[in-house]
């Protein structure tokens, strides 16, 4: 079976790498090729290296200040060229990025089946997350195999008349990667930090403008009110995000803006943080597995499991509301304990193995 994995961004690398590794471990049955669109240039390869993956094909598509639509056009055109030269039996994409949507569309035009990892996430608002909600819906229409992380994700697909035999609940491979990192590099234990660290990430397009300014300004309110709190902000390389951070993140000795961290360092930081504030999808999934309370900086969530597990809290994207929610966790020990219980709504780290099993089953059905 010839498998082509297509990925372009940081979250895709985190979530696809363990799946590639699991297929590679199958020996001759699986001929695995990895294609990077290079939608992100610098943040993908270090993650792949953790799994000893070297890309076979690179499209070198990132442009400074790129917008999703012209990028989508370039992904489709380049994938058309690649798929004209090779005919994999299956193209595997993950999530909701422009790379994933463009590759799935190109595979469809070449009549090559598509497998979709992290299928069935929905907010029901076509503009949030933007353009990811629509990318997901489009990929669902194009895919032959749908790997849902949770039962709720499977139910969403069933409600949209996706045939039940084409869906499998596998968990999310983000937990596979997380477990690999925490089992090989456990966070330093035994220290009693004198400061409580809050980890903040924000990069979502639908938050650009006032919501993101409010998020960044809330950090000033938090450090003013709590003298033992420091906030660490790894800043996404998107120039729009960097501009907003420059403009709205207050300068303060206990507010630290830093460059994006390599995955293991980021996970170590999250593991020693008191709590997490984020609009990232992946970070929301990792926080419950590390037993970290997470303030979800979105107006709606497609990962209701994080709220249901008790680890997550949605807040209105106003500075004072965000600061009060954080203050609640900093002062209410009972609430903090309740939100810090480890939970695994996205699986226990065996998603990659389940995905291999499902693809094997599918290949058998084809006589492969």
203 binds ligand UD1 (CB under 6 A): yes
**Contact partner, 121, from ligand UD1, ligand UDP, none, Cβ < 5-8 Å per class:** none
Out of 43, 47, 273, 339, the only residue in the binding site for ligand UD1 (CB under 6 A) is: 43
| Catalytic site includes residue 230 | no
Smallest gap from residue 65 Cβ to ligand UD1 (A): 5
Instruction: Tell me the closest approach of the beta carbon of residue 182 to ligand UDP, in angstroms.
Output: 12
Task: Return the sign of the alpha-carbon dihedral for residues 114, 116, 121, 125.
Answer: negative
Strands 255-258 and 229-234: parallel
Is residue 11 a contact point for ligand UD1 (CB under 6 A)?
yes
For residues 95 and 137, the answer to whether their CB atoms sit within 8 Å is no
> 99 vs 309, which CB is nearer to ligand UDP?
99
Q: Which is nearer to ligand UDP, 8 or 281 (CB)?
A: 281
Of the candidate residues 147, 266, 274, 362, the single one contacting ligand UDP (CB under 6 A): 266
Decide if residue 14 touches ligand UDP (CB under 6 A). yes
CB nearer to ligand UDP: pick between 260 and 328: 260
132 is catalytic: yes
46 lies in the site for ligand UDP, by CB under 6 A: no
* Candidate list 238, 299, 324, 350; residue touching ligand UD1; CB under 6 A: 238
Active-site choice (10, 74, 203, 298): 203
Residues with active-site annotation: 96, 118, 132, 203, 205, 236
Residues making contact with ligand UD1 (CB under 6 A) = 9-11, 39-43, 62, 64-66, 68, 71, 96-98, 131-132, 203, 205, 236-239
Interaction site with ligand UDP (CB under 6 A): 10-11, 14, 174, 201, 203, 234, 260-261, 263, 266, 280-283, 286
């Amino acid at each position: 079976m010839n498998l082509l994995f297509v990925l372009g961004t940081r979250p895709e690398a985190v979530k696809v790498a363990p799946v590639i590794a699991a297929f590679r471990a199958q020996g001759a049955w699986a001929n695995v090729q990895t294609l990077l669109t290079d939608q992100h240039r610098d943040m993908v390869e270090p993650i792949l290296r953790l799994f000893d993956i070297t890309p076979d094909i690179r499209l070198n598509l990132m442009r400074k200040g790129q917008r999703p639509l012209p990028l989508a056009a370039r992904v489709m055109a380049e994938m058309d060229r690649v798929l004209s030269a090779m005919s994999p039996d299956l193209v595997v994409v993950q999530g909701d990025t422009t790379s994933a949507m463009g590759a799935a569309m190109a595979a469809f035009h070449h009549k090559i089946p598509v497998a979709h990892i992290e299928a069935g996430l929905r907010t029901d608002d076509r503009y949030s997350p933007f353009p990811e909600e629509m990318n997901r819906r489009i990929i669902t229409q194009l895919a032959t195999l749908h790997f849902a992380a949770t039962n709720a994700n499977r139910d969403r697909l069933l409600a949209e008349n996706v045939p039940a035999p084409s869906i499998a609940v596998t968990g999310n491979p983000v937990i596979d990667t997380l477990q690999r990192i925490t089992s090989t590099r456990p966070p330093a234990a035994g220290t009693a930090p004198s400061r409580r660290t809050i980890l903040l990430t924000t990069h979502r397009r639908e938050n650009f403008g006032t919501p993101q300014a409010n998020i960044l300004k809330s950090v000033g309110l938090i450090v003013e009110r709590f003298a033992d709190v420091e906030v660490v902000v790894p800043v996404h390389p998107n120039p729009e995000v960097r501009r907003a951070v420059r403009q709205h993140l207050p300068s303060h000795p206990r507010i630290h803006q830093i460059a994006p961290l390599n995955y293991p360092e980021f996970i170590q930081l999250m593991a020693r943080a008191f709590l997490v504030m984020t609009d990232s999808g992946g970070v929301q999934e990792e926080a419950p597995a590390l037993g970290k309370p997470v303030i979800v900086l979105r107006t709606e969530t497609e990962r209701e499991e994080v709220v249901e597990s008790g680890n997550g809290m949605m807040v209105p994207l106003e500075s004072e509301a965000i600061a009060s929610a954080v203050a609640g966790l900093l002062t209410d020990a009972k609430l903090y304990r309740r939100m810090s219980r480890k939970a695994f709504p996205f699986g226990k780290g065996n998603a990659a193995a389940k995905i291999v099993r499902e693809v094997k089953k599918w290949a058998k059905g084809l006589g492969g």
